[in-house]
Amino acid sequence: MAPTVSIIVPVYNVAAYLSQCLDSIVGQSYAHIEVLLVDDGSTDGSGDICDQWALRDSRIRVIHKANGGLSDARNAALECMTGTLVMMVDSDDYITQDCVETLVNLMDDTRCDIAVGQWQMFDDHTQSQPHNRGNGRVTVFGRDQAIEHIFYQDTLTHSVCSRIFRASLFERLRFPVGMLYEDLAVAYPLMLQVSRVAFTTRVVYLYRQHPSSITGHFTRQRTHVLDILEALEDQVARDNPQFLPAVQSRLLSACFNIMLLCPRDGAYNDIIDRCWLGICRLRWHCVTDRRVRAKNRLGILASLVGKMVFLRLFSGKILKKY
């Protein structure tokens, strides 16, 4: 019997996009799904849209809860899902018609614990259909390979979207409530549980890029990425030092990114200093590592001129998706 896939969709004030997302889910070529819509205290009518869709399709269940953030919404669904497989879709994104079928077949063919598909970005002003579905080339990574690829930011990402997991991986794992970069926080403990990960270049997930998400409104919560990676650096140095170079490469990326995103109004000098200290510490570890990506190498070279010159060089030129 075909396994049931639980599809978790956190919903918060996305009335303009929600129906496109849900239409793509209920129209899947793979029918054995349950859809868990978690209305996380929406105030724009998104919760009513969820209820309307549940009346139209018996595979949809709606959870209404007080606003607690993305992690809290996902955790609520993890507590009550019934599928043996699970995937997560953000409510302003959507998936291709064959997304679930492609990933379930990939998992079955490769006997992997996680099946990952390619994603493609779009925005409200460009075409929202995949302009290139990819050639469907499959690569299977062992656990250690997968961890290194994620933290070297090479082929695999830390995102929990565009992939299907064995539900048992989340039996004791939950997303950290109240933190940004929640996907990054669970990436390492997820990977420690798997034996292999399969990746296909077939595009299965469409990620909506909002104009505000390119630079965003900077808040101190963005430094959660530094907290997560610094704690992970300590953990792998102690328990699995073979992953330390990859984690340090990812931490260096985060230091560059957060430093360049910080407004230059004096209110965030402590964060800029924190990032700069991290760059100065990590660049000597990373400069001789051939797997460190080119953008990090460029940042290392630029950092040698000193903090103030570095900031002037990159002022207004935020390194997107660092």
Q: What is the pLDDT of residue 319?
A: 41
* Predicted confidence (pLDDT) per residue in 94-109, tens digit: 999 999 999 999 999 9
The 10 Å CB-count burial string (b at 16+, else e) for 95-105 is bbebbbbbbbe
Q: What is the pLDDT of residue 213?
A: 52
Confidence at residue 149, expressed as pLDDT on a 0 to 100 scale: 98
Residue after which a domain boundary falls, among 212, 238, 265: 212
Looking at the structure, tell me whether residues 304 and 233 fall in a common domain: yes
Region 179-184: what's the mean pLDDT? Answer: 96
Q: Considering the domain boundaries, does residue 322 fall inside one?
A: no
Q: What percentage of the chain carries pLDDT values higher than 90?
A: 87
Whether residue 321 lies inside any domain: the answer is no
- Is 99 within a domain? yes
User: Is-contact 44 124, C-beta < 8 A?
Assistant: no
**What's the pLDDT score for residue 21?**
97
Same domain, 172 and 300: no
The residue type found at 260 is: L
Q: What is the CA radius of gyration of the chain?
A: 20
Judge if 121 and 200 occupy the same domain.
yes
Q: Could you give the count of Cα atoms lying within 13 Å of 62 in the half-sphere of its Cβ?
A: 21
Examine the domain organization and report whether 149 and 25 are in the same domain: yes
CATH code at position 167: 3.90.550.10
Are both 88 and 103 inside the same structural domain?
yes
On whether both 118 and 230 belong to a single domain, the answer is: no
Question: At residue 157, does pLDDT exceed 60?
Answer: yes
117 lies in the same domain as 250: no
User: Using an 8 Å Cβ cutoff, are 229 and 184 in contact?
Assistant: yes
16 is a domain residue: yes
Token pair 């990960």 is found at 197
C-alpha span between 166 and 164 (Å, rounded): 7
Given this model, what pLDDT does residue 214 score?
43
Label residue 322 by pLDDT band (50, 70, 90).
very low
In this structure, are 132 and 46 located in the same domain? Answer: yes
Write out the residue range of the structural domain in which residue 87 sits.
5-212
pLDDT for 130 equals 74
Q: 180 with 245, same domain?
A: no
Question: How many structural domains are present in the chain?
Answer: 2
Give the residue from 182, 212, 242 where a domain finishes.
Answer: 212
Residues 266-287: what's their mean pLDDT? 96
Residue 198 has pLDDT above 80, yes or no: yes
Report which of residues 293 and 211 the model is more confident about: 293
Does any domain span residue 320?
A: no
Which has the closest alpha carbon to 30: 105, 115, 128? 105
Question: Given a cut of 70, is residue 320 above it in pLDDT?
Answer: no
Average pLDDT over residues 57-81: 98
Task: Report if residue 319 sits inside a domain.
Answer: no
Task: Report whether pLDDT(298) > 50.
Answer: yes
**302 and 239 in one domain?**
yes
For the stretch 211-232, pLDDT in tens is: 655 445 789 999 999 999 999 9
Angle of helix 244-261 relative to helix 224-239, nearest 10 degrees, comes to 170
Q: Is residue 128 pLDDT above 90, yes or no?
A: no
Asked if 120 and 30 sit in the same domain, the reply is: yes
User: For residue 321, what pLDDT band results from cuts at 50, 70 and 90?
Assistant: very low
**Claim to verify: residue 91 and residue 180 sit in the same structural domain:** yes
pTM for the structure as a whole: 0.93
pLDDT band at 294 (very low <50, low <70, confident <90, very high): very high
CA-nearest of 266, 246, 270, 243 to 258 is: 270
The string of DSSP codes covering 73-118 is: HHHHHHHH---SEEEE--TT-EE-TTHHHHHHHHHHHHT-SEEEEE
The pLDDT tens digits of the residues spanning 12-66 come to 999 999 999 999 999 999 999 999 999 999 999 999 999 999 999 999 999 999 9
pLDDT value, residue 13: 97
In this prediction, residues 126-134 reach a mean pLDDT of 74
Domain boundary among 176, 194, 212: 212
